[in-house]
Amino acid sequence: MKNFLLLFCALFLISCSKEDVYGPLKLTNGQEVELLLDHRYASTNDRLLYLPSQEDAGAYLSGFEQREPGYTYRVKATFNYVENPPADGSSFWYNFVEVISKEQYKGNDPFEVQLIVSYVPGGPVIRIGKEGNDYFMSDKIQLTYTNESVGKQLEEIWQNAAEIRQNWQLGQRPKWQAIKATVVHDQRAFGKAYLVQQIQFL
């Protein structure tokens, strides 16, 4: 009987000391992790990977404002979980802590970016802006172009985006379902611009 009570107490203490885990990677709240970020910032294949296994991290990274396109980063972050997130928010995410390493991408392989993204709430949005004669996908990424044909397509996209913003109260939507741009890093403005080679309207 005495041995049974000792075994019961030991099992009880082990179960009490076991921390709760969350998310697809079964991490504890506040756990420190290493993550890998690709050079293709804001692209279709811009994946956040968990190290060392290099599997999908399963959540977004918050607070990494100094990230630049064209560089691969290893960063330290903490995993965070909240039981009751906002209606349009996630219950878990990563908070950026520090950069472990930063390496410039040396290749020239093309990749894709979507110029129409959907937000909840809000719906589809064309992510293009214009300052003077320059087009921008975000405040970090300028869109340059290989030829005048692509330049005219960017101008058409910008005109539709400007019309929607001017008439926002009417609930106007983009005239395309999707816009896929094939890009490479612009070597003339590396880390600041994507060179658009081709645009596909869907």
pLDDT band at residue 18 under the 50/70/90 scheme: low
Closest CA to 40 of 145, 188, 177, 181: 181
**Rounded to an integer, what distance in angstroms lies between the CA atom of residue 165 and that of residue 75?**
36
Question: What backbone torsions phi and psi does residue 172 show, to the nearest 5 degrees?
Answer: -65, 140
Does the structure show a pLDDT above 50 at 198? yes
Model confidence pLDDT, tens digit, residues 106-140: 999 999 999 999 876 778 999 999 999 999 999 89
Does the structure show a pLDDT above 90 at 2? no
Model confidence pLDDT, tens digit, residues 53-94: 999 999 999 999 999 999 999 999 999 999 888 776 789 999
Does the structure show a pLDDT above 70 at 98? yes
Query: What's the whole-number average pLDDT of the chain?
Result: 90
The full set of domain ranges for the chain reads 20-104, 111-201
| Sign of CA pseudo-dihedral 40, 43, 49, 54 | negative
Model confidence pLDDT, tens digit, residues 144-164: 999 999 999 999 999 999 999
Q: What's residue 119's pLDDT?
A: 79
Q: Which residues pair with 142 in a beta bridge?
A: 136, 193
Does the structure show a pLDDT above 60 at 6? no
Confirm if 198 and 150 have CB atoms less than 8 A apart: yes
For the record, the structure tokens of 180 come out as: 């896929």
For the record, the structure tokens of 82 come out as: 């909240």
